[in-house]
Amino acid sequence: MKNKYKIIVIGSGPGGSISSFRLAQAGHEVLLLEEGGSYKVSDRYDTQEMTEKYKNSGTTMTLGRPLINYAEGNCVGGGSEINSGLYHRIPEEILSKWENKNNLSFDREELYKSFKDIEDNLNISYMPDSLIPRASSIISEGCEKLGWACSEIPRWYSYDDDGNGTKQSMTETYIPKFINFGGTLKTHTKVFKIEKNKKSNIIHFFDQDKKIQKYFCDYLFVACGAINTPFLLQKSGFKSRFIGKGLKLHPSFKFTALFDEKVNFNKMGVPVHQVKEFSPEISIGCSISSKQYLANALNDTNNIEFLKEWENLATYYCMISPEGSGNVRSLKYFKSPFVTFNFTKKDITNLERGINNLGKLLFKSGAKTLFPSIQEPISFKSHEDIKKYNFKKLNKLNLMTIHLFSSVQMGGARSSFALNPEGHLWEDDSIHISDGSILSDSPSVNPQGTIMALADMNARKFLSRI
Ligand SMILES: Cc1cc2nc3c(=O)[nH]c(=O)nc-3n(C[C@H](O)[C@H](O)[C@H](O)COP(=O)(O)OP(=O)(O)OC[C@H]3O[C@@H](n4cnc5c(N)ncnc54)[C@H](O)[C@@H]3O)c2cc1C
């Protein structure tokens, strides 16, 4: 087995894939390692998909007040294989805040060059009008009645002449291009330790047969996602106390809404409208509403009998960009990361505001009953009902997040951040981090576009440095 490479990238999510592609394109010998298996991209949104492609089948949780269920991809392509494909560039006002907070200065020309390249390669585009599902247009009409800002969000999709869409995940885009440039991908390879000797980085991993093996490389890019990257670095003994600190995420609350009209159909996929009236602190939109996801949602409130009306049901979320933050820690004797997250008072107020506004919008859009993500047998028949409920009882709420970042932040001061502004460890310039961990804070919008643009920009800076 060949065991020495110039560059190794660990993790094939959006951050790892675009970095691997960029490095291989420049003619370097690159090995991309991925813990999960390789599957065809799909929009199944069912339990089999969760078992195959999600980390721990999606049952991971942050501890703190309140508990938050988080979901991550665990397959070739990472989160891009299971996500909704909603694309944003980071808003300029948020980018400026990051620069002040982390003592950074992003070269706009270079950053927008990366965004543009991503938009071309992922075919960022709007859904053909004829395909926009009723579950989506119904909230756009509700917003119109309320005078609220609402827009359709472009996605990484391409459509054939018959209107069949294919999500432009990493296995459809950057990974095949990486392989065409001579890159090597190894699946079912779980890295558990990074070690150093004078000449190389030594990557210890379990292979497909659970045997322990080693690879050696000159340069290492770690892209295991915002939870597993700091966990791996801590397990490997990296010293910076900022590794794993400052974790951010987008806590979300959901209502499943029952309408008089049909809003859902088999293989509907993800509706594409988002409410921008309360941005950047609160965002509102539609969630995956496949029959299996609806069943889970209705189960929360003991209302599963409504599943027979699934064509009239769709799930909607409100999510906040929180002030609070969390930590990722590696505890002795534990095989999994210990993840905590805590809200501030302002976060609780924003969450309550988001829930109220989501309820108001759904009733205005024609919903008859709302089933909340709350662990008690309850449903709401009017906005007045919602206003009376005490959402501050946080332990009752089933909150979740699919957006995680900022656990190994880049920053301009070695005394306050683990990574330098080019994305390598302050303590070791042969080790780069290239995933959601490096974000300075919540981007306030769906994060994949920003994660990829920063990872790409840093890979290009690395190429000019070496
Ligand atoms: C259900 C869902 C819907 C989403 N919808 C959207 C959306 O519409 N728009 C958007 O912008 N974002 C969305 N996201 C978020 C987006 O998918 C993530 O922000 C993005 O995937 C993060 O990329 P990443 O490179 O940081 O890490 P990840 O995508 O998490 O990739 C990390 C990879 O590293 C691998 N790995 C981890 N540890 C190891 C190890 N020790 N050894 C080897 N490999 C390892 C993992 O298996 C994984 O493949 C969604 C996420 C989910 C879960």
Predicted TM-score of the model (pTM): 0.97
Any catalytic annotation for residue 403? yes
Residue ending a domain, among 358, 375, 401, is 401
CA neighbours closer than 13 Å in the CB half-sphere of residue 311? 4
Q: Which CATH number goes with the domain that contains 417?
A: 3.50.50.60
CA dist 200 and 218 (Å) reads: 5
157 with 198, same domain: the answer is no
How many structural domains are present in the chain? 2
* Domain assignment present for 44: no
Nearest CA to ligand 1 atom 30: 225
Q: What is the pLDDT of residue 169?
A: 98
Q: To test ligand 1's pocket by mutation, which of 21, 83, 193 has the most ligand atoms within 8 angstroms of CB?
A: 83
69 with 80, same domain: the answer is no
57 with 187, same domain: the answer is no
Q: To test ligand 1's pocket by mutation, which of 86, 289, 402, 442 has the most ligand atoms within 8 angstroms of CB?
A: 402
174 with 217, same domain: the answer is yes
Nearest CA to ligand 1 atom 50: 83
- Residue 212: phi and psi, rounded to 5, are -80, 130
Find out whether 371 and 336 touch, Cβ atoms under 8 Å: no
Q: What is the pLDDT of residue 324?
A: 96
* Domain assignment present for 224: yes
* Domain assignment present for 306: yes
Which residue ranges have their beta carbon within 6 Å of ligand 1? 10-16, 33-36, 71-75, 78-80, 82-86, 189-191, 223-226, 228, 232, 402-403, 435-436, 446-449, 451
Q: To test ligand 1's pocket by mutation, which of 90, 448, 454, 458 has the most ligand atoms within 8 angstroms of CB?
A: 448
Q: How many residues does the chain have?
A: 466
Q: For the packed helices 14-25 and 448-465, what is the interaxial angle rounded to 10 degrees?
A: 30
CA of 206 to the centre of ligand 1 (A): 21
CA of 380 to the centre of ligand 1 (A): 34
CA neighbours closer than 13 Å in the CB half-sphere of residue 104? 26
311 with 453, same domain: the answer is no
Nearest CA to ligand 1 atom 1: 83
CA of 225 to the centre of ligand 1 (A): 6
CA dist 430 and 315 (Å) reads: 45
362 with 266, same domain: the answer is yes
* Domain assignment present for 228: yes
DSSP H/E element including 138 = helix 134-146
172 with 162, same domain: the answer is no
394 with 306, same domain: the answer is yes
CA dihedral 415, 421, 424, 425 (to 10 degrees): 10
465 with 435, same domain: the answer is yes
149 with 292, same domain: the answer is yes
Q: What is the pLDDT of residue 65?
A: 81
CA-only gyration radius of the chain, Å: 22
Q: To test ligand 1's pocket by mutation, which of 47, 57, 72 has the most ligand atoms within 8 angstroms of CB?
A: 72
- Residue 213: phi and psi, rounded to 5, are -135, 170
CA dist 81 and 205 (Å) reads: 23
CA of 363 to the centre of ligand 1 (A): 34
CA of 124 to the centre of ligand 1 (A): 18
DSSP H/E element including 359 = helix 345-364
Per-residue pLDDT of the chain (466 residues; tens, 9 = 90+): 799 999 999 999 999 999 999 999 999 999 999 999 999 988 777 788 888 999 988 889 999 888 999 999 999 999 999 999 999 999 999 999 999 999 999 999 999 999 999 999 999 999 999 899 999 999 999 999 999 999 999 999 999 888 889 999 999 999 999 999 999 999 999 999 999 998 899 999 999 999 999 999 999 999 999 999 999 999 999 989 999 999 999 999 999 999 999 999 988 878 899 999 999 999 999 999 999 899 999 988 889 999 999 999 999 999 999 999 999 999 988 889 999 999 999 999 999 999 999 999 999 999 999 999 998 999 999 999 999 999 988 888 999 999 999 999 999 999 999 999 999 999 999 999 999 999 999 999 999 999 999 999 999 999 999 9
* Domain assignment present for 45: no
80 with 207, same domain: the answer is yes
> What is the position in ligand 1's atom list of the atom closest to the CA of 85?
8
Domain that includes residue 328, residue range: 50-73+127-166+251-401
Region of residue 193 (left: phi > 0; alpha: psi -120 to 50; beta: else): beta
CA of 319 to the centre of ligand 1 (A): 18
Candidate list 88, 403, 424, 432, residue with the active-site label: 403
Question: Among 440, 445, 435, which Cα is nearest to 20's?
Answer: 435
Q: Enter the DSSP assignment of 154.
A: P
CA dist 81 and 266 (Å) reads: 20
Residue ending a domain, among 359, 376, 401, is 401
CA of 343 to the centre of ligand 1 (A): 23
Q: Which CATH number goes with the domain that contains 285?
A: 3.30.410
> What is the position in ligand 1's atom list of the atom closest to the CA of 78?
49
* Domain assignment present for 367: yes
* Domain assignment present for 284: yes
378 with 313, same domain: the answer is yes
DSSP string, 88-124: -PPPHHHHHHHHHHHT----HHHHHHHHHHHHHHTTE
CA neighbours closer than 13 Å in the CB half-sphere of residue 15? 28
For residue 168, what are its two tokens?
């432009």
Q: Enter the DSSP assignment of 127.
A: P
> What is the position in ligand 1's atom list of the atom closest to the CA of 446?
11
> What is the position in ligand 1's atom list of the atom closest to the CA of 155?
8
Spell out where 105-226 has E strands.
Answer: 124-125, 150-152, 155-159, 165-167, 184-186, 190-196, 201-206, 212-222
Residue ending a domain, among 375, 401, 427, is 401
